A = this chain, B = another copy of it.
Amino acid sequence: MEYLTGVRIKETSGFDELKEMKTSERSVSVEGAVHSIRRMGEISFLILRSREGLLQTVYEYGRAEFTLDGIREGTFVKAEGRLKEEERAPGGVELLLNGMQVLSAPEQPLPLAIAKWKLNTSLETKLNMRSVALRNVKERAKFKIQEGLVRGFRDFFFEQGFSEIHTPKIGAKGAEGGSNIFKLDYFHCPAVLAQSPQLYKQMMVGVFDQVFEVGPVFRAEKHNTKRHLNEYTSLDMEMGYIQDFGDLMAMETGLLQCIMKMLETKYAKELKLLGVNLPNTASIPCIRFDEAKQLVSEKYQRPIRTPFDLEPEEELMIGRYFKEEYDADFVFVTHYPTKKRPFYAMEDPQDRRYTLSFDLLFRGMEITTGGQRIHDYAVLVEKLEIRGMSREGLEQYLDTFKYGMPPHGGLGIGLERLTMQLLEEENVRETTLFPRDMSRLEP
C-alpha cells in the first residue's frame, strides 16, 4: 500500500530563497518561465519569472554544456547553476547556468510584450488576453495587493470575534428590490442572483452576534461606467449590539488601519513595485450628507441639482475638499436621505427624512455603504407597508425579527473599487481579474 504523509519537499529553490542566499558553492536549481532573453554575443541573459518575481540567469557560450535551442520567451523551464552576487541583477544575484530543462514549450510567441516594465497595451486588449497580460509583473502585482486587502479584512474581523459565513447566491427574492436583478430559471421556478448578502447576514446576527462574508454579488445595472461592474466581490460585515452607527464607522476605521498594516508588512514588494502611496487612516473625518453637499456647493460654486443623491462629481469635490483642508484621503458622509436608502435602513429619530447610515468616500469615490438597520419587527413591517412592498419572499427574514434581534448594523465594501482607489487606477476593470460588464462576458 502506498501512503501520502504530507507536503513533499521541493528539490528546487524559490527565487526569494536564492536572493537571501546570495552565493552558492554548489549548483542550485529553480523553476520558472522565461520572461525575456537578451543575447549579447558571448553570453545571453535569460530572465526567469516565478510567483516571487524575476531572477537573472546567464548563459555563457562555450562554458555551458547545453544549447539554448528551443528555449524562448514563454518557455517554462527548470534551470540549474551556481549563484553569484550581481548588483545590477534583480535582487542582487544571478544564476550562472549549467543546465536547463524544458518543462513545457509554448506553441506560439507571446502576443504581448509582457516583459516590458509597463505593459503598453489598451485596457481592452489586456482584458481580452487576461491570462497573458497578467504575466507582466506590474499587472500581476495589483492582484496581490487585492489579495492583501481581503486578507486584512478577514484577519481584522476574526480578531474582533466575528464569524465567517457563506450565504446563497441564488434566491427567491433580491435584498434591495428594484430592477437591477439578474433573473434565472431554477427548476421551473423564478429565481434571482443575490445583489448582496444583506438579508442573510442580518439573519445571522441573531445567531453569531457579528458576521462577515467575502463573496460575489450581482447587479444587472444598465450602465457601463469606469466604476461599475455587473459582478463584483463584496466585503460584507454585520454587527450586533451596537450603541449607534458610529460603532460601525469606528470599526471600519480600525479595519482600514489593519489592512494598511497588512499591506506594509506582507505586501511591501508589491507596494514598491507599483509605487503605492498608502492613505492616512489614523483619523477619518465625518460629515453629514446635507452639510457636505452645501459645503462643496459653496466652495466650488456648483449649484445643488439633486437634493437626495450624491452625484459622482460631488463625491469628487468632497474628496478634494477634505484632502485640501484636512489632508484626509477618506471621509465618512452620514445621514443619507431615507427615500434613497433601502427599507431596512433605520431612520434618524430626530428627523425621519434621514437615516442613521453612511457612505465612506476614498479619494472622492464611494467604496462603502453602511448603516444601522431596523431591528424592531413592528417598525420593519410598518416600513414595508409605507413603501408598498410585499412581504412575499421576506417571510423568514421578517420572522427573524419577530423572535428578537439585537440592535445592529453593517456595511459592504466593493473590493475592486477599493483596490482601484488605493492604486489610483482610472477604471475598475484594471483591478478586476475577469470583469463582467454589459459588453463583457468573456474570458
Contact = CB atoms under 8 A, between A and B. Distances in A.
B147 A163 contact: yes
B107 A401 contact: yes
Most B Cβ at <10 Å: residue of A2, A191, A283: A2
A402 B107 contact: yes
A111 to B, nearest CB: 7
Interface residues of A, number: 126
A94 to B, nearest CB: 21
Contacts of A297: none
Interface stretch (A36-44, A85-93, A246-254, A307-315): A246-254
Contacts of A279: none
Interface string A300-326: 000000000000000000000000001
Contacts of A282: 5
B231 A104 contact: no
A2 B286 contact: yes
B170 A283 contact: no
Contact of A399 (B2, B132, B249): B132
A438 to B, nearest CB: 5
Interface string A366-380: 000000000111100
Most B Cβ at <10 Å: residue of A5, A247, A435: A5
30 contacts: A3-B284, A5-B284, A8-B246, A8-B247, A50-B209, A76-B404, A76-B407, A103-B241, A104-B404, A104-B406, A107-B401, A107-B402, A108-B402, A109-B403, A129-B399, A130-B203, A130-B396, A131-B203, A134-B204, A134-B207, A135-B207, A140-B207, A150-B166, A154-B154, A168-B433, A169-B216, A169-B231, A170-B231, A187-B220, A193-B193
Nearest 8 Cβ contacts at the A-B interface: A396-B443, A106-B404, A7-B254, A74-B404, A131-B203, A184-B184, A51-B209, A131-B400
Interface of A: 1-8, 12, 14, 31, 33, 50-52, 74-76, 103-111, 128-132, 134-135, 140, 143-144, 146-147, 150-151, 154, 158, 160-161, 163-172, 182-187, 189, 191, 193, 200, 203-204, 206-210, 214-216, 218, 220, 222, 230-231, 233, 241, 243, 246-247, 249-254, 257, 282-287, 326, 332, 375-378, 393, 395-397, 399-407, 415, 433-436, 438, 441-443
